[in-house]
C-alpha cells in the first residue's frame, strides 16, 4: 500500500471529460484526493508530442491515469479505423514516453477487452493476449491498445518503470455517449427504448442477431479498480495486463430486455441483421484481480437504472421510474 504517495503527489487524469476519466475524478474527489491535474482537449492535444512533453514538464505529475482515447461502438470502429489506430497510437506513445522522461511513479494505462482474440476461450484469461486473430470490426482500436500494453511492458523491462495496463470489459454509466450511431450497445438501446416509449412505437430495433454476449460493467466499478491500482498495485504484481470485469455476461437480447424494463417500454424487439454482431462473446476471467483483493460491486439492473437517471437528467430533466424487481 502506497497511499501517502498518492496524497502527496499530483495525479494527472488524462481524458477527464470522458466516461472513464470523469468517473475516476469523481472517485478521487470522494476519497479526499484533490491534487488532480487535468487539461481539456483545447488546452492540450495529446497527439502532439512536444505539447505533451511541455505539459509534463510544467505539471510534473507523480501518478498518471491514461483514460484519454478515441473510443466508439461497433459501427464507428468499423467505419473510421484510421482515427482509432492513429489517434490512440499517438496519444499512448506520447503519454507513456512523457511518464518515463518525467519519472512518473506510476502510470495506469487503460485498454479494453477487445484486445483479445475473437475466438479466445471463455472466460478470457490475460494469457490469451496475442494467441489468435482479432475481431475485424474493432481491430484498429485493439491493435493500438495492444501496442500500449506492450509499450508499458517494454518501459518496465528496459527502464524499471511502474506502468500498469488495466483491461476493462464493456463499460456504461453517467456521461456515456448516447449518439445513436457512434455509441456502444447499452446507451444506444437506452436512448432508443426511451424514444420508442415517448413516441408510442411498437418496436425496438436491436442491431445484429441478439445472440452475441457482452459483459457490462458500471464505470464507477472501473473507477474503483483504478483507485485500487493507484494505491495498491505495482507492475510487478501483475503480468503485462490485468482484466477488470464483473465475471458474468448476458446476450444482447437479454440486455435489451433489461433496458426495456428499466425504461418502462413494453414494445417488441426486432433485430436489424444488416448490422454487425461483432465478436460472439468476450467474458473476462477476473480471478487475478480477485486474488489481488478487488472485485466489481454494482449489480447490472441497479447500474442501468442509475445510468438511465443520468440520461434523463441530461436529456429531459425527468426522473427515472422506480426499478421493478421482477
Ligand atoms: P462491441 O462490444 O465492440 O461489439 O461494441 P458495441 O457495444 O457497439 O456492440 C455490442 C453488440 O451489441 C453487437 O453485437 C451489436 O450488434 C449489438 N447491438 C445491438 N443494438 C445495438 C445498438 O443500437 N448500438 C450498438 N453499438 N450495438 C448494438
pTM exceeding 0.85: yes
313 in a structural domain: no
C-alpha span between 172 and 187 (Å, rounded)? 7
Residue among 12, 116, 141, 178 flagged as catalytic: 141
250 in a structural domain: no
277 in a structural domain: no
C-alpha span between 62 and 8 (Å, rounded)? 9
Residue 314: band (very low, low, confident or very high) from pLDDT cuts 50, 70, 90: confident
Predicted local confidence at residue 4, as pLDDT = 72
- β-pairing, 250-251 vs 213-214, is antiparallel
227 in a structural domain: yes
Residue 150: band (very low, low, confident or very high) from pLDDT cuts 50, 70, 90: very high
Mutate which of 183, 278, 280, 282 for ligand 1? The one with the most ligand atoms within 8 Å of its CB, which is 278
The values of phi and psi at residue 69, to 5°, are: -165, 160
Predicted local confidence at residue 317, as pLDDT = 67
Mutate which of 184, 187, 210, 256 for ligand 1? The one with the most ligand atoms within 8 Å of its CB, which is 184
Q: Report the CATH number that the domain containing residue 108 is assigned in CATH.
A: 3.40.50.720
Per-residue model confidence as pLDDT tens digits over 112-140: 999 999 999 999 999 999 999 999 999 99
C-alpha span between 271 and 49 (Å, rounded)? 44
Structural domain count of the chain = 1
70 in a structural domain: yes
- β-pairing, 268-272 vs 213-214, is unpaired
Mean pLDDT, to the nearest integer, of 257-263?
97
Mean pLDDT, to the nearest integer, of 210-224?
98
Range of the domain at 20: 4-172+217-244
296 in a structural domain: no
Predicted local confidence at residue 18, as pLDDT = 96
Residue 232: C-alpha distances to residues 2, 95, 238, 300, 323 (Å): 6, 22, 12, 26, 36
Per-residue model confidence as pLDDT tens digits over 170-198: 999 999 999 988 899 999 999 999 999 99
- Grid cell 453517467 — which residue? 174
**Nearest atom (ligand 1) to Cα of 252:** 12
Predicted local confidence at residue 156, as pLDDT = 98
| SS3 call for 257 | helix
Does the C-beta of 96 come closer than 6 Å to ligand 1?
no
Nearest to 26 by CA among 305, 178, 18: 18
CA 148 from centre of chain: 15
143 in a structural domain: yes
The values of phi and psi at residue 257, to 5°, are: -65, -40
CA 156 to centroid of ligand 1, rounded, Å: 35
Active site residue 141: yes
Per-residue model confidence as pLDDT tens digits over 76-96: 998 999 999 999 999 999 999
Predicted local confidence at residue 326, as pLDDT = 43
C-alpha span between 12 and 145 (Å, rounded)? 20
226 in a structural domain: yes
Amino acid at each position: 500500500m502506497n497511499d501517502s504517495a498518492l496524497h502527496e503527489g499530483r495525479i494527472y487524469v488524462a481524458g477527464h471529460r470522458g466516461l472513464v476519466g470523469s468517473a475516476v475524478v469523481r472517485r478521487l474527489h470522494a476519497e479526499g484526493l484533490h491534487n488532480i491535474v487535468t487539461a481539456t482537449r483545447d488546452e492540450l492535444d495529446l497527439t502532439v508530442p512536444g505539447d505533451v512533453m511541455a505539459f509534463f514538464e510544467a505539471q510534473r505529475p507523480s501518478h498518471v491515469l491514461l483514460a484519454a482515447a478515441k473510443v466508439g461502438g461497433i459501427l464507428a470502429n468499423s467505419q473510421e479505423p484510421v482515427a482509432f489506430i492513429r489517434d490512440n497510437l499517438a496519444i499512448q506513445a506520447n503519454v507513456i514516453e512523457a511518464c518515463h522522461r518525467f519519472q512518473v511513479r506510476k502510470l495506469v494505462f487503460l485498454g479494453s477487452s477487445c484486445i483479445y482474440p475473437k475466438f479466445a476461450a471463455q472466460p478470457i484469461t490475460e494469457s490469451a493476449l496475442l494467441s489468435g486473430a482479432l475481431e475485424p470490426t474493432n481491430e484498429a482500436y485493439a491493435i493500438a491498445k495492444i501496442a500500449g500494453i506492450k509499450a508499458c511492458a517494454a518501459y518496465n523491462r528496459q527502464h524499471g518503470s511502474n506502468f500498469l495496463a488495466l483491461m476493462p470489459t464493456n463499460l456504461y454509466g453517467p456521461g456515456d455517449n448516447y449518439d445513436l450511431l457512434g455509441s456502444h450497445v447499452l446507451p444506444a438501446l437506452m436512448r432508443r427504448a426511451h424514444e420508442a416509449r415517448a413516441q408510442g412505437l411498437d418496436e425496438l430495433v436491436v442491431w445484429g442477431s441478439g445472440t452475441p454476449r457482452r459483459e457490462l460493467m458500471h464505470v464507477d466499478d472501473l473507477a474503483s479498480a483504478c483507485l485500487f491500482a493507484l494505491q495498491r498495485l505495482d507492475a510487478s504484481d501483475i503480468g503485462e495486463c490485468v482484466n477488470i470485469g464483473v465475471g458474468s455476461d448476458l446476450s444482447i437480447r437479454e440486455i435489451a430486455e433489461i433496458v426495456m424494463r428499466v425504461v418502462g417500454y413494453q414494445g417488441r424487439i426486432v433485430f436489424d441483421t444488416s448490422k454487425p454482431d461483432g465478436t460472439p462473446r468476450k467474458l473476462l476471467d477476473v480471478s487475478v484481480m480477485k486474488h489481488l483483493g478487488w472485485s466489481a460491486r454494482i449489480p447490472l439492473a441497479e447500474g442501468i437504472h442509475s445510468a438511465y437517471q443520468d440520461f434523463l437528467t441530461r436529456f429531459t430533466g425527468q426522473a427515472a421510474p422506480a426499478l421493478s424487481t421482477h
